[in-house]
A and B are shown apart, each in its own frame.
Chain A
Amino acid sequence: MSVRFVFLRVLGILPLLLGVSLILFAVLHLAPGGPLDVYADNPSVSQEALREMKVALGLDKPLPIQYLAWVGAFMRGQWGYSYRTGDPVVQDIASRIPATLALGGTAFLLSLLIAIPLGILSAVRRYSALDHAVTFTSFLGISMPVFWLALMLQLLFAVYLHWLPSAGMVTIGDGSLVDRLKHLALPASILAVASVAGWSRYVRSSMTDILSQDFVRTARAKGLSERIVIYRHALRNALIPVITVVALDFATILSGAVITETIFAWPGMGRLFIDSMNGRDYPVLMGLMMLGSFALVLTNFLTDLIYALVDPRISYG
């Protein structure tokens, strides 16, 4: 992998993000009212002042000019001010990032720890009762309305059994690790359901492919133990295609947090998104959407890099 490839790939990101910003800007202009709507309802703001503000903010200019100004400001980190709190959007969003990363990161690790062993077991004992059970369960996971599962598990573990808290991130006055982990358990498991289901199927099919290849037969013929054949020879190769799917899904897990965080009152970006949606807080919404798209494009890029690093057969220009 050459420096040239990395450079070209980075260069390719820019038009993509520009396209995304164009679409999001258009969506923003579908919204009823403009950025000055907050003041329009205020009786102590005169029509005169409203017009002056419009000129001062450049809202009287044609749309293409407004778009360029918006992009320029956005790149300098001026994402506007929240309609609800009056704080800078960047500050409002930044304060929510740690909670979402903690939740998404836990769900991500949990998914890996469950999906990979399940996929291997399924592939090694293909067509066994265990394999059928894993396949059926992963179909269940893919078809699951996660918000419903969340409600049912809340009911079971919080209402009936009282094992886990039903919402929030910490109990007020109790910041211990155990307390935090208890709060994390349900939302992280819920967030992991879809990816566990998808990934275990993917590991299974990748592993099945590899196990039928000649080099695996050679390894067995050499008299290597089944353990070594599977874990040292087959698994390493089987995981290469899995990396792409897993890495790309990280962004999906984060956007899935929109629903999970809402149900579990988790104070992250997903909940900020829904709260902003209900409060028609368009600057915050736009900032979150751009950030989400950026994360998606970035994971795409990193996936390509990791793939090239892990698999020496792949070489980009």
Chain B
Amino acid sequence: MDKSQSIPRWLPRRESFLGQVLHRFFKHKLAVAGLGILVLLGLVSILAPVLTPYGYDQQNVALMGQPRSPSSQHWMGTDELGRDSFTRVLYGARVSLRVGLLSALVATLLGTLVGALAGFYGHWVDPLLMRFTDVMLSIPLLPLVILLSGILHPSVALLVGIIGGLGWMSTARIVRGQFLKLRSAEYVEAIRALGGSNNRIMFRHILPNTVGPIVVATTLSVGNAILLESALSFLGLGVQPPTPTWGNLLNAAQGWLSQAPWLALFPGLFILITVLAINFLGDGLRDALDPRL
């Protein structure tokens, strides 16, 4: 079968850089599927108010008392307070996806900054920042995140700060390596000779050449952030009810596990599918952006 048939016509020409990247990306079927699933999930969570007639904390008094199994009115059943589970899973997607995306963004910005400064300036800046990175990597991540959330009782915004603020180290190492390699490249010397300032060299000329690895690292850290947030909320230390997230829905479902397994089934399935899609997307992006691997 001709492989090129599966690659959309509207793509840029194969000869351009972007064209090459997109062609490689579209060869990775699972990555394309992952992207599709993520777009769908994003749409579904944004359109939640249109897709479901119920509010996420709207209770049906007639159904209160104990969970009801899935039916044609309530696709994923209702919980013990008479709330529609499908609605809560959709609204949960909003919080879970937002926390995942924003934390990954925070981690990437911090990691890029630290890595760029360390790799570019060397001298005392590099050892200082890298030893700090080593120290941060020496504290077990999951317990530290749990400890901070337990002490600070974070809002969603602070939770993003905690997860992102503790997830920048691997990005910093990657970016530092790239900067070390490129800072003595001939084209950088040329810009320096032309009078380009340090900031200009760092952010206009070196940074664009490190975008590939950064994009891949960011994508994968979205998945990890979603897993971390759901684990925290599952333990009752993350986002607090009544705001639904996939993690705290599972926390609530744990007590009804044998009577109402559907309450636990769906939120977890959504976490799994989302993170799986993100990891396939990351794998595809790695193939597309870094053909050497």
Q: Which chain A residues have a beta carbon within 8 Å of chain B's beta carbons?
A: 15-17, 19-20, 23-24, 27, 30-32, 139-140, 142-145, 147-149, 151-152, 154-155, 159, 251-252, 254-256, 258-259, 262, 273-274, 277-278, 280, 285, 288-289, 292-293, 296-297, 300
Contacts and interface: CB of A to CB of B under 8 A. Distances in A.
Contacts of A16: 131, 134-135, 138
A28 to B, nearest CB: 9
Interface string B187-198: 000000000000
Classify chain B: how many residues form its interface, as a range.
35 or more
Which of B132, B138, B276: most chain A Cβ within 10 A? Answer: B138
A258 B142 contact: yes
Interface string B92-106: 000000000000000
B116 interface: no
Nearest to B226: A145
Contacts, number: 124
Contacts of B143: 255, 258, 273, 288-289, 292
23 contacts: A19-B134, A23-B135, A27-B148, A139-B279, A139-B283, A144-B275, A145-B227, A145-B230, A151-B250, A151-B253, A151-B268, A152-B265, A155-B261, A159-B258, A254-B140, A258-B146, A259-B142, A273-B143, A273-B146, A277-B150, A293-B140, A296-B139, A300-B138
A111 B112 CA distance: 34
Given A27-B147, A152-B265, A259 B235 contact: yes
B226 to A, nearest CB: 9
A295 to B, nearest CB: 8
Interface string B138-164: 111111101110111000000000000
A255 B151 contact: no
Contacts of B147: 27, 277, 285, 289
A143 B272 CA distance: 6
B135 A24 contact: no
B138 A293 contact: yes
Tell me the dominant secondary structure on chain B's binding face: helix
Q: Which 3 residue pairs of A and B lie closest in terms of their CB atoms, listed nearest first? A: A148-B268, A19-B135, A143-B275
Nearest to B141: A255
B257 interface: yes
Given A27-B151, A151-B250, A143 B139 contact: no
Interface of B: 131-132, 134-136, 138-144, 146-148, 150-152, 223, 227, 230-231, 234-235, 237, 250, 253-254, 257-258, 261, 264-265, 267-268, 271-272, 275-276, 278-280, 283
Contacts of A154: 257
B223 A143 contact: yes
A138 to B, nearest CB: 10
A159 B259 CA distance: 10
Which of A19, A143, A292: most chain B Cβ within 10 A? Answer: A143
A140 B138 CA distance: 28
A251 B140 contact: yes
B72 to A, nearest CB: 25
Contacts of B250: 145, 147-148, 151
A15 B132 CA distance: 10
A145 B135 contact: no
Given A145-B275, A255-B141, A262 B223 contact: no
Contacts of A293: 138-140
B258 A145 contact: no
Nearest to A17: B138
Nearest to A31: B151
B27 to A, nearest CB: 14
Nearest to A16: B138
Contacts of A30: 148, 151-152
Contacts of A15: 131
A154 B253 CA distance: 13
Given A30-B151, A152-B264, A289-B144, A139 B276 contact: yes
